[in-house]
Chains A and B, each alone.
Chain A
Amino acid sequence: DTGVSQDPRHKITKRGQNVTFRCDPISEHNRLYWYRQTLGQGPEFLTYFQNEAQLEKSRLLSDRFSAERPKGSFSTLEIQRTEQGDSAMYLCASSLSVGRVHEQFFGPGTRLTVL
């Protein structure tokens, strides 16, 4: 399978714990995006990278959230001191920024439940 992969697919944690998610983009895609989707809503942009540089962060990304893409390949999203409001689907997408059309391909998501 050469699509975007995310791990884990599901995570249940207790309030106050730290969690880390991983995203592996499509090979050779230089852009990687993180979105959050809650029930009945569309995905909300969190942050994106071009290669290893983090180019934009949403104000939704509080100090408890940190994302990295150390070698311009896979990315991790860490949430510290989780809160019940963090419960959501965390989606990763990747794209190749060549030309004008930069289609974003989405992974299956990591569903986080904070108890």
Chain B
Amino acid sequence: QKEVEQDPGPLSVPEGAIVSLNCTYSNSAFQYFMWYRQYSRKGPELLMYTYSSGNKEDGRFTAQVDKSSKYISLFIRDSQPSDSATYLCAMSVGDSWGKLQFGAGTQVVVTP
């Protein structure tokens, strides 16, 4: 069993809808939780990170972490066709990030 599980999708939504993404994990030592976006043939780019449990909002993006359930979520409001990409959750142990443990990524398609 993988340490980080993520539904690969694809997830297709109409423009303007809310996109809901999530990951589950098994290692209770994870402390930093990140969401990366990866466009085709590009490297991942960091969208948001959260330390421990709680919510974090940045523009149209909201990240949630529930450590008691080992569950993290990313919500994208007012989705745009430019949001079409693969979204990867990632986690790390300890204070210095170090190696990241990624989920498999969820492919999101936002249709005009």
Contact = CB atoms under 8 A, between A and B. Distances in A.
A4 interface: yes
Contacts of B46: 103-105
Contacts, number: 62
Interface of B: 4, 6, 8, 41-46, 49, 51, 88, 90, 95-105
B105 A42 contact: yes
**What range describes how many residues of A lie at the interface?**
20 to 34
Interface majority SS (helix, strand, loop, mixed), chain A: loop
Given A43-B88, A93-B43, A104-B97, 5 more contacts: A35-B102, A42-B102, A43-B102, A58-B99, A105-B45
Interface string A48-62: 100000011010000
Interface in A42-83: 42-45, 48, 55-56, 58
A45 B99 contact: yes
